[in-house]
A and B are shown apart, each in its own frame.
Chain A
């Protein structure tokens, strides 16, 4: 074996370990001190050491233990360096002591869920929880996270640092909440994972590497939570919802990159293995007898798949599911989709009456699907001028060029001669 091969192999082993174990190691290191930043620093030095050591010397039999041992040494070094800042030094010493015990065990306890609960704590600013989870559990850098959430990298970096400081300074616990508090707190984690998934979802072609990674990473997290909390129906519901959405990704764009709406997608292009898995998860969740947002949204996806597969219209069922979802969330996004289903039963006029109003939620004014839906419904009631205006705003609000072209085509069909 040439040095180059060994180098490559060591590098890919380090990558694989990083992917599989990064969050586990950070969680383990940070759990004793609540100092996420110090844990990340020690670990990043350990990974750098691995890249230097493994190529010439071969990969260790237990890479995780090797990394922990090095991270421990780094933590001690860092503690010495910070002797003047007595507090930080003490934290690092505590961390290092814990590692002695861990190195003796064969299996590192998995505290990733506790780490996620710390990141999703109500004391942490709601907008930074999802990015924080992505960073500390997956090791994604601030620039990539910033790009996914459309925030400036500098601002994202600062907010992440502030959130980590808050965990340490405010003494936010690394623990899984008790039975009574669990569902509400779990929702925050699920929301964070779903936010990451939704960001990845806006790149259906998978051409944007950062976004594609985000989809993979959010699946990794959703599976992790579902595995660790198999008795929580919403955790299963979220994974089912994501699988349903992901199953249709190959059908969302035509061969030449044009946007294809659900009603026109070719079901043969859907990933039926993912759909089966989603259906099984939904069934499992429903046996746990506690309905929630993600199960309902998963059930809606399931209803859409059923309709397209059987050709049997099930719009009343769909409206009923949206009613239930509306009762839980009160979200205007739900109201918009509900209006679309109502249009299928009672026509566009009734659907327009059922649409939420900008006067009750100003965020709608900048929400593309609101304007696109309005445009669609107005066009059907022959209110062409209003429809044209609504299409224009929808086009102006859209980020994805393919969706923009799709809306432009709809608009020109409205302007063109009737065919």
Chain B
């Protein structure tokens, strides 16, 4: 039997450099950074004092005020992005069978805003300050539940929490679920709002955050910049999309997943596991390494990741690795953790649509260990038919996805 194909027919995105696909894409092409000094709390005690915060997000533009008032910021992001993606897909509510519509989201941390608020209130005033919906706001699966309720999605509903690879897995698992004929449409993506004192303190203690800027693959890189945001992609079975003459951004054609089973934080230095993940995704997409036009790298700007990822790309692509543009859009928006893969999948779709590769900004000093074409500082016109997008997480958890220009 022929395998069911899955296409992307709608996009919704919230990132530090833009809300909505147009603002986000304009900023990405022009190398506009959304990173700035932290204003939400006093960060003077930390090594890093910058973050990719989403300014000007107005929940009431996307949902009832009473709904917004009862949920954490990461759930607000998810509902807002789903609304944008649904509007973009023009999927009429009448044409969908709610039992065949799923929601697959990634979130690495859960509702950190409300979590921190509750713990502090309890410490100061005792247990009676615990809101009855406290856990319901904080649990990582809250956003996927809220999306199902807002948009009447009665199909499979999953939340995947594998730190920074969460939403690449959510997208990949959704791909498999549609292939298996368990759903026709899945809102897939991720959401994260980690910018509170507690999370910052945790990453500060790990000494993995930059004191200057996110500069992936640069010799002077000194860590990631924490970001926040969300993205939702409407994944649709090809026949379902063709029947309603939907606009198709790209085909989601491959997914690779693996675990390094080595170290909680450090990537395997030779990049073997990352390479294996990319190769699995290519195989799943029935593509060869030479078919890939652009790699949206995990590119966190930690010394260890960028070096290992570069080695991994060379392992998979051989000499061809030097010819393939590789960029890290995290340089512009910071690292949105569990939402990163989904935001990067949106960037990848738009790269295919516009034949433009977004740059790696803040790139100044070449590193002999990172010697590929990182599309430094300026977006580039380039034919993009196939994109490989990577996400590598704490716990050695790896996921790569492949997006491809749709052809009959």
A, B co-complexed? no
Chain A residues packing against B (C-beta within 8 Å): none
